[in-house]
Amino acid sequence: MEPNNKDDIKEVKDPSLVTNIQKRLRRIEGQVKGLQRMIEQDACCMDVLIQVSAVRAATNKVGLMILENHMQCCLAHALEGEDKDRQEKFQELLKVIENFIK
């Protein structure tokens, strides 16, 4: 995904949200390291797949938290603007959601 232009609205992030996301990402990092150990130790495929599923669910949750923040802060502000801005932001949101669910 391309970075936003400098002219775009600066995102507003609640410090507690940032802390929560950072904790979740550290937990995910630990889960991935655990997966690496499981592979090295020739763990049962079912156990590995369960852990892969857990990592995927955790990363999806982080993505949803970021998307929700984007919609509440950035998109909500943009929707107060002119019709052209609203249409552009709506298209941007659709693109973000499309990329997120791939």
Show me where the domains of the chain are located. 15-101
Assign a CATH topology to domain 15-101: Methane Monooxygenase Hydroxylase; Chain G, domain 1 (1.20.58)
Mean pLDDT of the chain: 84
Mean pLDDT of 93-100: 86
User: 33 CB contacts (<8 Å, ≥6 apart)?
Assistant: none
Res. 98: pLDDT tops 80: yes
Res. 1: pLDDT tops 50: no
Query: Which residue is it, tokens 């943009």?
Result: 78
pTM, two decimal places: 0.74
**Tokens linked to 42:** 């020739």
16 vs 3, which has greater pLDDT?
16
Residue 6, phi then psi, degrees to nearest 5: -65, -20
Mean pLDDT of 4-29: 78
Res. 23: pLDDT tops 90: yes
Mean pLDDT of 50-60: 96
> 74-89 pLDDT, tens per residue?
777 776 767 777 778 7
Give dist(CA 11, CA 45) in Å, integer. Answer: 42
Helix ranges, 41-82 (H): 45-70, 76-79
User: 71 CB contacts (<8 Å, ≥6 apart)?
Assistant: 93
